């Protein structure tokens, strides 16, 4: 069967996961591949856990990726990364924003946020390719916490064999004109965070 590259993007509603998955899908098309993207709207957006699927390939059929079959897990929040670790295939790549957003159950004291040890142990059972990215910090340095998602895209781009110009074009197309420059700087910084 023809090879596809499969991305799962997860985060908390409002973190820009939808924009990020839009860009990844657009880059796939820009690289001359077929691309499909699937996500869920509505109730999930109200601060809930969100997940979207993006697939690239010469030919892509299903818009959904099977659990445990993703090549890349791009996570904008650590608890969400952990919740979705089972989407990653053995040996797949996890890129995780080193940020904790405690859900209400935790912030109100009713539950505990999982420790970094628990987090790393779970990921290491699946893969040794786990990157913790200080993306929020870098985004704030670039100018706004809101470009957090694009810092993460920069990091992801460093691991993929697609011309940087294709990424930049996809970002320019998706963000409001007055924020293009800041987003491109965020992307640039992101690219340097992963080797």
Partner 1 sequence: MRKLLSGNEAIARGAWEYGVAVASAYPGTPSTEILEEFARYPNVYAEWATNEKVALDVAIGAAYAGRRAMSTMKHVGLNVAADAFFYASMTGIEGGLLVVSADDPAMHSSQNEQDNRNFGKFARVPVVEPVDSQEAKDLVGAALDISEQFDTPVMLRITTRIAHSSTPVELGERREGPPPLPTYPRKFEKYVMLPVNARKRHPVIEERIRKLTVFAETFPFNRVEWGDRSLGIITCGVAYQYAKEVFPTASILKLGMTYPIPPQMVREFVGQVERAIVLEELDPFVENEVKLLGIWLEGKSIFSGIGEMDPRTVREQAIAAGLLPESARKTYIVPDVGSLPGRPPVLCPGCPHRGFYVITRKLKLPINGDIGCYTLGALPPLNSTDTCGCMGASIGVAHGADKAGSPERNVAVLGDSTFFHTGMPALLNVAYNNGKTITVVLDNRVTAMTGHQDNPGTGRTLQGQESKQIEFEPLLRALGMDHVETVNAFDLKEVERALREAVKRDTASALVVRGECALLPEARKRYVPLRVDQERCNGCGLCFRVGCPAIVKQADGKAFIDPLLCTGCEVCAQVCGRKAILFRAQLHEPSDV
| Residue 96: strand, helix, or coil | strand
Distance CA 39, CA 62 (A): 13
CA distance to 107, 166, 179, per residue, from 129 (Å): 30, 25, 32
Q: Per CB under 8 A, does 130 bind partner 1?
A: no
For 148, half-sphere exposure in the C-beta direction (CA atoms, 13 angstrom radius) is 21
Q: Per CB under 8 A, does 3 bind partner 1?
A: no
Distance CA 29, CA 37 (A): 11
Query: Which residues in the 10-29 window bind partner 1 by CB under 8 A?
Result: 12-13, 22, 25-26, 29
Which one among 31, 98, 103, 137 touches partner 1, defined by CB under 8 A? 103
Structure tokens belonging to residue 117 = 């040890």
Which one among 56, 72, 76, 123 touches partner 1, defined by CB under 8 A? 123
Q: Per CB under 8 A, does 176 bind partner 1?
A: no
Q: Which is nearer to partner 1, 145 or 181 (CB)?
A: 145
Query: In the 8-state DSSP scheme, what is residue 28?
Result: H
CB of 192 to partner 1, least distance (A): 26
Q: Which is nearer to partner 1, 170 or 191 (CB)?
A: 170
Q: Per CB under 8 A, does 68 bind partner 1?
A: yes
CB of 58 to partner 1, least distance (A): 13
Distance CA 9, CA 54 (A): 8
Contact 92, 100 (CB under 8 A): no
Q: Per CB under 8 A, does 65 bind partner 1?
A: yes
Residues that bind partner 1 in the complex, under the rule CB under 8 A: 1, 12-13, 22, 25-26, 29, 34-49, 61-69, 79-80, 82-83, 85-86, 89-90, 102-114, 118, 121-123, 125-126, 145
């Amino acid at each position: 069967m023809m090879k596809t590259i499969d991305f799962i993007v997860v985060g908390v509603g409002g973190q820009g996961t939808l924009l990020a998955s839009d860009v990844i899908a657009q880059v796939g098309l820009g690289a001359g591949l077929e691309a499909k993207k699937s996500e869920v709207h509505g109730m999930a957006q109200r601060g809930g856990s969100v997940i979207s699927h993006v697939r690239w390939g010469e030919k892509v059929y299903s818009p959904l990726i099977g659990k445990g079959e993703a090549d890349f897990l791009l996570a904008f929040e650590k608890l969400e990364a952990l919740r979705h670790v089972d989407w990653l295939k053995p040996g797949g790549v996890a890129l995780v924003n080193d940020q904790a957003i405690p859900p209400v159950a935790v912030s109100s004291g009713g539950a505990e946020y999982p420790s970094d040890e628990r987090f790393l142990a779970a990921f290491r059972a699946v893969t040794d390719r786990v990157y913790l990215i200080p993306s929020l910090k870098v985004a704030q340095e670039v100018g706004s916490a809101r470009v957090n998602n694009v810092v993460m895209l920069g990091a992801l781009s460093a691991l993929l064999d697609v011309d940087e110009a294709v990424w930049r074009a996809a970002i320019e197309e998706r963000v409001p004109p007055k924020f293009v420059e800041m987003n491109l700087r965020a992307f640039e910084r992101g690219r340097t965070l992963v080797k």
